[in-house]
Structure 1
Amino acid sequence: MNETINLLNNHRSIRKYTEENVKREHLDIIIKSAMAGPNWANGQQVTVIEIQDKAKKETLSELAGGQVWINDAPVIFVFCLDFHRLKIAAENQDRSFTLTNDSEYVLIGSTDVGIALGHAVTAAESLGLGTVPIGGIRKNPEEVIELLDLPKYVFPIAGLVVGHPANHSAQKPRLPLEAVHHMEKYNTELHDYIRTYDKTMSIYLEKRTSGADNSNWSHKILDFYERRLPLEYGRVKGVLQKQGFHLGKNKN
């Protein structure tokens, strides 16, 4: 395999960082690489807010649920879906702006963010840096919007912590390829693959936690989506609407 594929296949999230700062030129390379990725209709519906200020990082750490690596790492990028620039384009063209009255635009912006964030992770790791994405940015979205002074039609989707790794964590096992890569049509015969993966994850967690946790993937992910997600991310829909994104059908 070539160097790029080896890099992608060796990805792992890093949650412990040294105190060494990231070079300015490396941060610029990461953002340039993120923005070089494909995007919907060349609308470039992504904005990245770079934060190095210690007080802001501490606040973001608290808002994201007490994720201390946000505070410990030298920098966090907040990736936002952004239709504010399209609003300006409409104003420059003397046209009304009603695009965000359709939920499709949240999907478009979120997809663009995901692609950009993936490019940023790969660029950072190619420079010997570590990263960890932060979905917890959406736990308290209104406060994050206020902290970063985000205008209407902009919404924070995810953070990305970047820094020099203090250690390299173990690589978490993934689902078997047969469970995620289907040929010609969707294969619904997945029960055995998921049972096998549950055993793999149980062994991995038991080893990683020195026996304190041997739960499996099915239990953990169902618990997250059924119990934690509604409690921790329940404000997202309301704040999206406040930011001008109406999650219905465009009637215009």
Structure 2
Amino acid sequence: MNQTLEQLLNRRSIRNFTGESVKEDDLTLILKAAQQAPTSINGQQISLVVTRDKAKIKKIAEIAGGQPQVATADVFVTVVIDYNRADAAMKHAGQEMVISKSAEGIVVGSVDAGIAVNALQTAAESLGYGTTVIGGIRANPNAMIELLELPENTYPALGSTIGVIDTKIASAVKPRVPIESYAMYEKYDTQKVASGVLQYDTELRSWWDSIGLSDMPSYTAQTAQFYSNIYFPEVAKTLLSQGFKFSDEI
């Protein structure tokens, strides 16, 4: 197995950091790797806001629900859906930018944000740093918008911590649903997905118990805990206030 595959197959979220600084040269490389990720039509409708100020990082941790892995990170990178850049390009071309007011615009921005954060984390982990994706910033999008001074036609989609891993605290690779219920050949198989859910529910329960976290919920219990309600209720309202609207809805 080559080094790249080994890294990807052993990816895990790191929530404990030493407090040491991420080297500036390393951070520059990480950001460049994220920038090189593909975007739809090469629109480059993603921007990164890099936070190193400790007081601001603690504020982001509060916004995200008081997450300690955010508060103790050396760097927090917010991945921003950015049609403000497209708007500048459209003005130069003498046309009006409307993509942010469509369902496709939201999908494109979200997809590209996910691609960017994956590239960023892969780069950071290749240099020995730990990361965790943080979607909790959408619990209070207005606070993030104000903190980062985001203009109209931009939105804080998600973020990532970066820090030096505290190796004294063990971390393990969390199992996933069975591969045959995840990667399906030729057509979607509802039965495989359903049976995979039940198998994974048992496997994850055993995994939690094996690392001494018996109080953690099973897969089905955790999914039900979040997906039985709209757990970030401010997203739609703040999207509208930032200039995003489904004007193409039927």
Counterpart of 1:225, as a letter, is: Y
Matched ranges for 1:200-215 at <5 A:
200-213=203-216, 215=217
Contact 1:103 1:245 in 2 (8 A): no
Residue 238 of structure 2 corresponds to which residue in structure 1?
239
Contact 1:78 1:160 in 2 (8 A): yes
* 1:212 to partner: Cα distance: 3.0
Residue 178 of structure 1 corresponds to which residue in structure 2?
180
Residue 107 of structure 2 corresponds to which residue in structure 1?
107
Residue 192 of structure 1 corresponds to which residue in structure 2?
195
Matched ranges for 1:136-147 at <5 A:
136-147=136-147
* 1:250 to partner: Cα distance: 6.8
Deviations 1:206-232 (A, max 9, x none): 23345334x4211211221114xx2x4
Contact 1:47 1:79 in 2 (8 A): yes
Counterpart of 1:198, as a letter, is: D
Residue 228 of structure 2 corresponds to which residue in structure 1?
226
C-alpha distance in 2 between matches for 1:210 and 1:181: 29
C-alpha distance in 2 between matches for 1:176 and 1:201: 11
Greater mean alpha carbon deviation, residues 94-103 or residues 147-156: 94-103
In the alignment, is residue 52 of structure 1 matched against residue 55 of structure 2? no
C-alpha distance in 2 between matches for 1:70 and 1:210: 21
Deviations 1:2-43 (A, max 9, x none): 110000001000000012100111111111111111110000
Contact 1:26 1:127 in 2 (8 A): yes
Alignment root-mean-square deviation, CA: 1.4
* 1:247 to partner: Cα distance: 2.5
Aligned sequence identity (%): 36
* 1:70 to partner: Cα distance: 1.3
Counterpart of 1:199, as a letter, is: T
Contact 1:241 1:247 in 2 (8 A): no
Counterpart of 1:223 in 2: which secondary structure?
Answer: helix
Counterpart of 2:81, as a letter, is: L
Contact 1:80 1:113 in 2 (8 A): yes
In the alignment, is residue 130 of structure 1 matched against residue 133 of structure 2? no
* 1:46 to partner: Cα distance: 0.5
C-alpha distance in 1 between matches for 2:227 and 2:52: 32
C-alpha distance in 2 between matches for 1:36 and 1:149: 25
Q: TM-score, normalised by structure 1?
A: 0.94
Counterpart of 2:137, as a letter, is: I
C-alpha spacing 1:210/1:48, structure 2 compared with 1 (3 Å): closer
* 1:97 to partner: Cα distance: 2.5
Deviations 1:157-180 (A, max 9, x none): 111000110134111110110111
Counterpart of 2:5, as a letter, is: I
C-alpha distance in 1 between matches for 2:42 and 2:10: 31
Q: TM-score, normalised by structure 2?
A: 0.95
Q: Aligned pair count?
A: 247
Counterpart of 1:203, as a letter, is: S
Deviations 1:171-205 (A, max 9, x none): 11101101111111111112322211111011112
Residue 171 of structure 2 corresponds to which residue in structure 1?
169
Structure 1: gaps spanning 5 or more residues: none
Counterpart of 1:51, as a letter, is: T
Counterpart of 1:189 in 2: which secondary structure?
Answer: helix
